[in-house]
A and B are shown apart, each in its own frame.
Chain A
């Protein structure tokens, strides 16, 4: 029993990491129609910057958090302005190719600026083990789960009640008409990139604290993307759920069947679910009515 609970707990934690990055994919897709394939890489770079802060400035978790969130926003806005904005009216496939190009550049950049070796993050407060009944988890793992739930509530409220959130949904629904209302789609794109960078950056940092920091951290993006598809590309909260499903499934299969199947288990589930619900678990079906 305690084995199962431990598997579920660590599945929930890794699922929350996937979920946060999956939400980032969905936020950008929903408001600009673009898939940012460099999302995992951007999370990785944020984690490396967090490591630099903790080792060369201060290991205080609040300082690291503030610094890395600030960096994530500035970095995302710079990428958006320099690489994405000039492509705004180009075909969407070309824009996606740009993000794939960026992902390769970012991966090399990590090795160029830092190094290719695995590191601990040097944040003891996040690394500490906590025992809750039968379950032993790290503070960072609890942190990422709590952050995911906070992000879900915040996103739900933002898109439902704030006027800028409604405008973002309007852009997603019909950006040409939204512009006729005076919506500045550049601002919407900036907001989406900024928010996505914060969610995936925090996920990257917390994952690196719980596991380790290495140049293969970008692979979180590869795991999170199918989670987005599972939840529904345009479903932000659904993507978070998709991440949790993938994380928990992986851990259960790895724990009970074989660790070799762990990596593919999530994908098998995704294929099965998409066969039944092609729009994803929570994807919106386009309303076809004139």
Chain B
């Protein structure tokens, strides 16, 4: 292996053979290996209960809150083993999560939510970042003194992403940013992700059920089912994979008549999560 060192330097987040167990009994993630190179957008796709969110919890050091544990394998971020690091230290190192369902502090104003995102930064830095977020989402500036719980879904998602940006992420992980939003707003979110990558040179780990749009923006794709990675590859190659087209993107290749469900192998039939 000639260029191992260069490879490691270029990989920001690296999971190796990770196995996660809840309550010492329920296996949620089995033998997952995944790497996110610096500056790339990696999509992690899969249906409900595939283990995507569990992986994100492991990466952000918040498994222990739900009696979860990394039983085997390692998680390296920026060359450091973070498998058992505290969330506080992971956040300080710039690995920031936008949680599923946005999870705003509903009783706090937009400004206060953003301030929380920069909790570990000093006030001068916080204000600087806040101006940057207002540049990215001018709408939030108008709404800054409103209670965030009363904003619309799309505005709440802006606050959630803005709050994560306050921490100056090196790696931004987004857990189902399109969940429960109207298509037009989802387009806006994806435009923002593309901009963050282009203008801020951010590394992004995108976890989604909504495969179509995630694949358009990603460089590399992992597909999870039942706690395992069942398929991975560069986004273009994966997109053109016939199985993926049929069962994950919801169209059949080559204009052929859609195959009958009976012809499909059992393992393929189990999950049709984008129909």
Complex Cα spacing A183 to B119, Å: 7
Which one of B101, B123, B167 lies within 8 Å of A182 (CB-CB)?
B167
Min C-beta distance of B257 to chain A, whole Å: 40
Chain A contact-residue range equals 20 to 34
A180 CA to B101 CA in the complex, in Å? 14
Q: Is the CB of B105 within 8 A of A173?
A: yes
A180 and B87 contacting across the interface, CB-CB below 8 Å: yes
Q: How far is the CB of B153 from chain A (nearest CB, A)?
A: 7
User: In the bound complex, do residue A166 and residue B147 qualify as a contact, i.e. CB atoms below 8 Å apart?
Assistant: no
* Chain B residue at minimum C-beta to C-beta distance from A171: B105
Residues 119 to 146 of chain B near chain A (Cβ within 8 Å): 119-120, 123, 126
Q: Tell me whether A178 and B149 are in contact (CB under 8 A).
A: no
Known: A182-B120, A184-B88. 20 other contacts (CB 8 A): A89-B64, A163-B126, A169-B107, A169-B112, A173-B106, A174-B103, A178-B116, A179-B62, A179-B87, A180-B60, A180-B91, A181-B91, A181-B116, A181-B119, A182-B88, A182-B167, A183-B116, A286-B106, A287-B107, A287-B149
B170 within 8 A of A: no
Q: Say if the beta carbon of B115 comes within 8 Å of chain A.
A: yes
For A124, the chain B residues whose CB sits under 8 A away are: none
Q: A286–B107 Cα gap in the complex (Å)?
A: 8
**Chain B: interface size category:** 20 to 34
User: Please, which residues of chain A bring their CB within 8 A of the CB of B105?
Assistant: 169-170, 173-174, 177-178
- B residues near A (Cβ < 8 Å) are 60, 62, 64-65, 87-88, 91-92, 96-97, 99, 101, 103, 105-108, 112-113, 115-117, 119-120, 123, 126, 147, 149-150, 153, 163, 167, 180
Complex Cα distance, B106 from A177, in Å, reads 11
Contact, CB under 8 Å: B62 / A166: no
Q: Which listed residue (A163, A167, A173, A184) contacts B107, Cβ 8 A?
A: A173
Complex interface: chain A residues within 8 A of B60 (CB): 180
A–B pairs, 15, beta carbons within 8 Å: A169-B105, A173-B107, A173-B108, A174-B106, A178-B105, A178-B116, A179-B62, A179-B88, A180-B60, A182-B167, A183-B119, A184-B88, A284-B107, A287-B147, A290-B180
